[in-house]
Structure 1
Amino acid sequence: MKGRKAFAGLFLIVTLSLTGITLFADSLGLDDHSGWGRMRTLFFVCNLLACMLIGFYILFTNQVESAIVSIWRRVNDNLLVQKWKDSGFVQPLIYLRKYLFTLPIMTVVILLYIWLISSGTWTTWISPTRHYGTLAQGFARGRLFMPTIPDPRLATLSNPYDPAVRHGIDTPVDVTYYKGRYYLYWGPVPALLLMPFQAVLHTRVGDLQLVFAFTCGTFLLLSILVIYLWELSFKKLPRWMLGVSVLLVGTANPTLFMLNNFKGARIYEAAITGGQFFLVSGLLLAVLALKKSRAYWILALSGILWALSIGTRLFLILPICGMIFVIAYGWLHGKRPALEKAVSLFAIGFPLLLGMLILGWYNWERFGSVTESGLYYQL
């Protein structure tokens, strides 16, 4: 208990420091913008709530821990929870409890992400582009194109795709121009995900915010995958090696480079990190399914996530096809019943096929071709 209290006290000092930094960011020269923006307010409120919760825990440690133990036992005794725990989906989370020492490492990595993406200011998040947010606005209006109105002079040019010909005409960076409208040749999935958020926030979410969310998600998923594989095959090695592995997973290039909001965190990085997030999500579930018999729903979810990955960045179809081939090869040469093999392949393959059909329709509706993503018409 003393160790937990000491850790809570240390964490309280950190959160109080971050709260103070957020409160006096102007005086400290960390925020050049006057007033409080949304991110600064959110950061302050989250840190303040964390301080209150940690302080409550320190003051009433025995009562809090007793309540947590009681609630945990009731949850574990529930039959539905028992069935859920027996599924392969929660196995990595169970292993995660054994390696809680990796959580501070994950926290440090995410704080590093925040520092990088805010260019060292912590609270000022300037997005170089908002293409996905703009496309989400178009989707919300029932359109497949961006609502940004192109310069009418583009339609009068013999070849608007030649930078020399359209010299002097302002156009958005890295968009597709086709028949007087702007499109994105990147996949539409992130824009679809933004629609409900923008409906609530009443603002366009920047591509930088997407990069941060996808990068954090990918890092956490990779950390879970590393811990799961460690428990299966490497748990006899020194535990510090696992901590180093988690740190390397979170800080390996090009992750940190893409978080620099002066040079990165644009539409390019949003599509790349989004595709990687769904790719790793599907990979994690596929790895879990390999250890289970008749894990059809896990395989189906893996196929859905991989379809979303392709729908974010089309080129990821190549590694996904490679992984499908490896999985299928393992199944076909395994000792499982033929029917189970067939159903497993269908479970993971059907969502991918359906996703490709939807993506083909999306391209056809925009450019009259199922294979044209808009790259040919890029400005």
Structure 2
Amino acid sequence: MPSVRDNATYFCRSFMDRHGAAVLHFAKVAAVLLACALALEVFLFNMNFYLTAGLEPRDVTRECGLPENDIGQLMLTEANHAVVLQGLDQAVENVWLDFDGEQPAQLLECKVSFTDEAHKTFFDTTEYTRGVPIVDVSTVSDKSEYLNLNASGRVQALEIELVGDEVRYPVLLDKVVLNANRPFDFNKTRFGVALGILCLVYAFRPRSAIYRWPLRVRPRLTKAIIIGAFVVECLVMTSYLFFGSNLVGVATSSYNYGSWDGVSMANTFEVGGENAQQYAELAKSFTRGQLHLEEEPPEWLKAMDDPYDKGARDEAQKETGEDYLFDVAYHDGKYYVYFGVVPVFLFYLPFYLATGANFPTALGVLASVLAFAGGCTALLDRFARHHFKRVSLGLFLLLQIPLVACSGVLYLLKFPTFYSLPIALGLAFSVWGLYLWMVGRSAAHPCRWYAAGSLCMALVAGCRPQLLVLSCVAFPLFWRRYITEKRLFTGTGAREFACLVAPYAAVALAIMGYNAARFGSPTDFGASYNLTVNDMTRRGFNLGRILPALFAYFLQPPSVTGVFPFVQPAPFDTTYLGQTIKEATFGGIFACLPVLWILAASRRILALRVSERATHTTAGVVVALVAGGIVVALADAQMAGILERYFADFSFMFLAAAVLLLFVANERLAPGTPTASLFQNALLAVVALSVVYVVLVCFVPEVGWYSDIYDWAYQNIIEAVQFWT
């Protein structure tokens, strides 16, 4: 009887006999990619190590004119907060400010001034020139402590002054060195990112084999690769969420350790302020048999004639000194949660009953986003394998990545708060509902698929009601079968149709009963009672809001700079003479996501599909998606305003329509022809631009994010990317 070792040996030999050439090729490619990433990290990303290796350092610590503490460290104080060097008379390539790493971490703004052979006095920004920019230096980021100077000839005087009103003095300096030799720094994260980018470039290069593997011809291999790619996406998104630790609400001995209880392997804690706990507080209220929050509003709020006027609320709060909950629904002397209630039943209530603690909202956002990504992948796979003949693995992955990444969910992970959770969960339910419907359309016994899909779609009403617009896709999907072919009027068809409709009816009855019990009306979700920045009870509908919203959501070009992350909030101006609710946004989807430009050719592409098929299902789905996206964007602008997280409400609809159009266009292209090559290369370019844009937005500094709370640590990311500074 052969041993385990014999069996393993036999398996390896037989596997290598069949796939040896492929394994050898893969090993060679992996070695080359690894070597390239290593070369980039060692030589290019560490270029300053080689450029400064021949410099002769000059220690000027004792020439700075700063007071010293008991152990000889220089002290920058509120009264004396500048390093001043006179009479240098030498070339200065860089300055090393060696801050004490044991002092409290902070990000310092340094104003650098110098005189050289072209400037006898310090120079600054004028009408026609730009002076030396303010430099950010982190006391815990070694690379940021090196300031490269670009002087004209020999430097005579040099001054480095701490500016800004938030510096915590004293700031301790161990030494100041001119023309320092930059140390070699092997950044493992940067190396990993570079290797990942190189792998993507190689995998999606124009002549890659993945463009020659049709999904239908090689189903097992392609499914395995798709699942692997999905797992990698999940790991990347999970890593990004946990990177923004200030919003996660989970602590261990090595993560958010300042909030660790010192006993548990992991414990939860509250983040985001008091009003951010309203989902958790609602779960507690449910256990007590009540629908309103436990906290009582202050008496001054109950006594107000118009409690929804923010200006009046702020004045009353100042006079009394009593706080109130912000962004909750206030009705009949009680606080309510107007956000969709489904997340409470899915996450918060079970977690509270099991642990007695508040569920970490960020984990709910992550679970919802990952479920959305899985649903997108399954839905796309269903369309590609069952409704199109020529979709290759390369085309599938090339479209799956922007369908997930560009849909706005990465921004929800950037701010994984209770604002983001209902949107992410609504999207997850929507894509899985569509997938289950698609499976049911080709199943011999579709009732259970229809019921499950409709339940998912109906639950969207308890998450993000705007996303119910996606239910309109049911019309092109089922119209021909149940209306045109009159299947609805048969016994079997009636049962199937009932399975489609019944979950909507059940969920609608539950939500309407919940609304009626809280606000006295089955159709009142409570959004108009929100204690927010404007009076929602009088917001109404105004045509003047439409054009600014159309521009900001769809057409505004991105605002870019030459400094990481290269994208910045887009400017906003309007002629609408009223209150506009507006947070930072970064450009309209049609200007910033080139992959959507295919929508401009919708009519021509759909005409090709209609000419080949007796049914118009695909055309109907595309029209429903585009129309739904426009409706949701305008509804958001009218009801709430122009906010970056609202892009997730409608971006998926346009992206899904674009993907279907690209599938249709691909069907008309014969593989290997110049037209097919042009199509593939153009698609690769627009997808790359779209994905790069959304990734950069993920790292734009914003209030409340990692860059704001841990600005001194965020500087490490900037230094890793801007390796040339």
Paired letter, 1:357: L
How many corresponding residue pairs? 291
Find the residue that maps to 1:177 and give its secondary structure.
strand
Paired letter, 1:200: A
Residues 241-252 of structure 1: matches in 2 within 5 Å? 241-252=395-406
Aligned to 1:207: 361
Which among 255, 276, 292 is matched to residue 145 of structure 1? Answer: 292
Distance 1:359 1:221 in 2: 25
The percentage of counterpart residues that share the same residue type is 24
Kindly indicate whether the alpha-carbon contact (under 8 Å) linking 1:96 and 1:224 is maintained by their aligned counterparts in 2: no
Distance 2:325 2:426 in 1: 22
Distance 2:300 2:400 in 1: 52
Q: 1:235 to 1:348 in 2, by over 3 A?
A: same
Find the residue that maps to 1:130 and give its secondary structure.
helix
- How far has the Cα of 1:234 moved from its partner? 4.1
Distance 1:233 1:144 in 2: 46
Aligned to 2:350: 196
Aligned to 1:366: 518
Aligned to 1:118: 242
Larger C-alpha radius of gyration, 1 or 2? Answer: 2
Find the residue that maps to 2:294 and give its secondary structure.
coil
Deviation sequence 1:306-327 (CA, Å, 0-9, x none): 221112122233331x123233
Structure 1 unaligned runs (5+)?
A: 11-28, 30-94
Distance 1:314 1:237 in 2: 34
Taking structure 1 as the reference length, the TM-score comes to: 0.69
Q: Determine if the alignment matches structure 1 residue 344 to structure 2 residue 496.
A: yes
Structure 2 unaligned runs (5+)?
A: 1-10, 17-22, 31-104, 106-218, 249-254, 257-267, 532-725
Distance 2:526 2:244 in 1: 36
Kindly indicate whether the alpha-carbon contact (under 8 Å) linking 2:361 and 2:417 is maintained by their aligned counterparts in 1: yes
- How far has the Cα of 1:96 moved from its partner? 7.1
Aligned to 2:473: 323
Kindly indicate whether the alpha-carbon contact (under 8 Å) linking 1:127 and 1:208 is maintained by their aligned counterparts in 2: no
Kindly indicate whether the alpha-carbon contact (under 8 Å) linking 2:433 and 2:454 is maintained by their aligned counterparts in 1: yes
Q: 1:137 to 1:327 in 2, by over 3 A?
A: same
Find the residue that maps to 2:335 and give its secondary structure.
strand
Find the residue that maps to 1:165 and give its secondary structure.
helix
Find the residue that maps to 2:313 and give its secondary structure.
coil
Kindly indicate whether the alpha-carbon contact (under 8 Å) linking 1:289 and 1:298 is maintained by their aligned counterparts in 2: yes
Distance 2:359 2:392 in 1: 43
Aligned to 1:314: 465
Q: 1:189 to 1:96 in 2, by over 3 A?
A: farther
Aligned to 2:563: none
Kindly indicate whether the alpha-carbon contact (under 8 Å) linking 1:132 and 1:191 is maintained by their aligned counterparts in 2: yes
Taking structure 2 as the reference length, the TM-score comes to: 0.37
Residues 58-77 of structure 1: matches in 2 within 5 Å? none
Aligned to 2:384: 230
Find the residue that maps to 2:453 and give its secondary structure.
helix
What do you get for the CA RMSD once the two structures are aligned? 3.0
Q: 1:238 to 1:351 in 2, by over 3 A?
A: closer
Which among 388, 405, 408 is matched to residue 254 of structure 1? Answer: 408
Residues 101-112 of structure 1: matches in 2 within 5 Å? 101-112=225-236
Q: 1:361 to 1:105 in 2, by over 3 A?
A: same
Which among 261, 283, 291 is matched to residue 136 of structure 1? Answer: 283
Aligned to 2:324: 171
Which among 215, 219, 238 is matched to residue 373 of structure 2? Answer: 219
Paired letter, 1:369: S
Deviation sequence 1:196-244 (CA, Å, 0-9, x none): 1221132111332221111111101111121222222446443222222
Q: Bigger relative contact order, structure 1 or 2, given CA contacts below 8 A and separation 6+?
A: 1
Q: Determine if the alignment matches structure 1 residue 287 to structure 2 residue 434.
A: no
Q: 1:187 to 1:246 in 2, by over 3 A?
A: same
More helix by share: 1
Residues 32-43 of structure 1: matches in 2 within 5 Å? none
Deviation sequence 1:2-55 (CA, Å, 0-9, x none): 689x99xx9xxxxxxxxxxxxxxxxxx9xxxxxxxxxxxxxxxxxxxxxxxxxx
Find the residue that maps to 2:310 and give its secondary structure.
coil
Find the residue that maps to 2:455 and give its secondary structure.
helix
Aligned to 1:155: 302
Kindly indicate whether the alpha-carbon contact (under 8 Å) linking 2:237 and 2:410 is maintained by their aligned counterparts in 1: yes
- How far has the Cα of 1:120 moved from its partner? 4.8
Q: 1:100 to 1:173 in 2, by over 3 A?
A: farther
Distance 1:303 1:163 in 2: 40
Q: 1:172 to 1:117 in 2, by over 3 A?
A: farther
Runs of 4+ in 1 over 4 A off after TM superposition: 1-4, 95-98, 120-127
Deviation sequence 1:47-89 (CA, Å, 0-9, x none): xxxxxxxxxxxxxxxxxxxxxxxxxxxxxxxxxxxxxxxxxxx
Q: 1:343 to 1:374 in 2, by over 3 A?
A: same
Kindly indicate whether the alpha-carbon contact (under 8 Å) linking 1:145 and 1:182 is maintained by their aligned counterparts in 2: yes
Find the residue that maps to 2:524 and give its secondary structure.
coil
More strand by share: 2
- How far has the Cα of 1:371 moved from its partner? 1.3
- How far has the Cα of 1:177 moved from its partner? 0.9
Kindly indicate whether the alpha-carbon contact (under 8 Å) linking 2:351 and 2:358 is maintained by their aligned counterparts in 1: no
Paired letter, 1:243: L
- How far has the Cα of 1:166 moved from its partner? 1.1
Aligned to 1:187: 340
Paired letter, 1:297: R
Q: 1:283 to 1:97 in 2, by over 3 A?
A: farther
Kindly indicate whether the alpha-carbon contact (under 8 Å) linking 1:279 and 1:306 is maintained by their aligned counterparts in 2: yes
Distance 1:329 1:236 in 2: 27
Kindly indicate whether the alpha-carbon contact (under 8 Å) linking 1:127 and 1:265 is maintained by their aligned counterparts in 2: no
